[in-house]
Amino acid sequence: MSLLSAEFLSFSLVTVVLIVSLGGFTRQLAFLIFNLGFVWMLLGTQGTVSTAGFCLLGYALARAHLRWPDLRLAYTLSPLIVLFAYMRQYEFLQWILPDQILTSLLRTVGLSFILFRIIHVIVDTRSRTLGTLGFFTYMNYCLSFTTLLMGPIQRYQDFSDQWHGTRQAIDLTFEAHFDAVLRILFGLVKAYILAPWVESFALAPDTNVLDLSPGGWIAGLYGFYFFLYLNFSGYCDVVIGVGSLLGVRPPENFNLPFLARNISDFWLRQHRSLTLWLTDYVFSPAYKAMLSGRALAGSPLLAATLALLLTMLVSGLWHGTTIGFLFFGLAHGVFLATYRVWDHLLVGRLGRKRAAALRSTWPARAAGIFLTFNAAAFAFLFFRLDTPHLLLLLKGVFGA
């Protein structure tokens, strides 16, 4: 559904007016009906049932942790992730599952985002850091039409605090509401005017990149980088604006990633809500587990490097179902691990103070921005190309 369509704009307007004017249980129920209605408009009855069913499974699993506090996470997360992999139809499943199973897929939308929200709820429920797990709040959190399709990945506590009025989404002033409308308009300009124009320069998924000139490479990769930024951040501007008016403002997701000074900084500026999720639920537990193991106990740098590689591999698989996304994740894992080792060596050689002073000089900052920009643009090659053209490139490069 287009964000510029009369359908979406009128749906948003009616929802905002109704939700703001209602209170208590009626508001909870009305928002759930609107959210399910939104899914139904996108997917029809079968898709609504399978998407809501996936969320209900998550709720039941989170409840199981409340009922049995010692229940292991592996027992609840495994069925959820297996079902997710089946519903997402990962490319590698065709090698292990019969065709007739894969053709009877359950239709859903925004499933990767829903999965990460549910995992967050389950893990935080088990660690008793979630707060109150209410059924309607949970379902509206998972299915909120503002963040359903493409995030940002909001935390349950943040959603719940704003939804229940513990914290205001925005100031109750005319100007703050007008700012939200401006944000929506600005996002629409980014997504519907600037992004389509920039896309005309971007690398197409079916490009044989070996035939491109160096200028073609640069224009194609830079073009795709800027296109993706305008496309995704424009969308985020719209949903942050709508969410602000609704009373549940999603978190910020972008902060000029082109100005990142290193690859770690890049991931705090690009799809920030995903980075923070991956840090909390993949990197930190993996790093702690590796340090507590016998093999890596005395090697924090090696443990951090391996945890980074694992985290970005998960990120790649989360992004998409094809082999290209695996390479995209691996490329960023290698970049992050290299940066970590470089920084460790720099601090080891110069000491913390002198390393920080060196990093803050303008040549170091400019070099950092240049290198990070080009590394990020290069990694988007794997993100953009379709599988046959990516394999063509790899064959050309490695001569296989």
Partner 1 sequence: MTIHSPAGRIALKLIAATALLVLILLFSTQEVDFVYTAF
Residues that bind partner 1 (CB under 8 A): 2-4, 109-113, 149-151, 174-175, 178-179, 181-182, 185-186, 188-189, 191-193, 195-196, 228, 231-232, 235, 318-320
Kindly tell me which of 18 and 330 has the beta carbon lying closer to partner 1. Answer: 330
Q: Give the closest residue to 241 by CA, choosing from 321, 180, 172, 282.
A: 180
Which region holds residue 82: left if phi is over 0, alpha if psi is between -120 and 50, else beta?
alpha
Kindly tell me which of 93 and 111 has the beta carbon lying closer to partner 1. Answer: 111
CB of 315 to partner 1, least distance (A): 11
Kindly tell me which of 73 and 111 has the beta carbon lying closer to partner 1. Answer: 111
CA pair distance 181, 186, nearest whole angstrom? 9
Kindly tell me which of 34 and 380 has the beta carbon lying closer to partner 1. Answer: 380
What lies within 8 Å, CB to CB, of 166 at 6+ separation is 160
- What number of other Cβ atoms are within 10 A of residue 177's Cβ? 15
Give SS3 for 327.
Answer: helix
CB of 307 to partner 1, least distance (A): 23
CB of 210 to partner 1, least distance (A): 24
CB of 291 to partner 1, least distance (A): 31
DSSP letters of 268-301? Answer: HHSSHHHHHHHIIIIIHHHHHHHHHSTTTTT-HH
Kindly tell me which of 15 and 273 has the beta carbon lying closer to partner 1. Answer: 273
Q: Which residue type sits at 291?
A: L
Instruction: Supply the angle between the helices 284-292 and 300-319 in degrees, to the nearest 10.
Output: 140
Calculate the CA 175 to chain-centre distance.
30
Kindly tell me which of 4 and 366 has the beta carbon lying closer to partner 1. Answer: 4
CB of 111 to partner 1, least distance (A): 8
Place of tokens 């709040």: 137
What lies within 8 Å, CB to CB, of 334 at 6+ separation is 309
CA pair distance 137, 64, nearest whole angstrom? 18
Which region holds residue 69: left if phi is over 0, alpha if psi is between -120 and 50, else beta?
alpha
CB of 312 to partner 1, least distance (A): 16
CB of 338 to partner 1, least distance (A): 26
Kindly tell me which of 191 and 304 has the beta carbon lying closer to partner 1. Answer: 191
Calculate the CA 222 to chain-centre distance.
21
What lies within 8 Å, CB to CB, of 269 at 6+ separation is 254, 255, 256, 257, 259, 260
Kindly tell me which of 181 and 210 has the beta carbon lying closer to partner 1. Answer: 181
CB of 212 to partner 1, least distance (A): 21
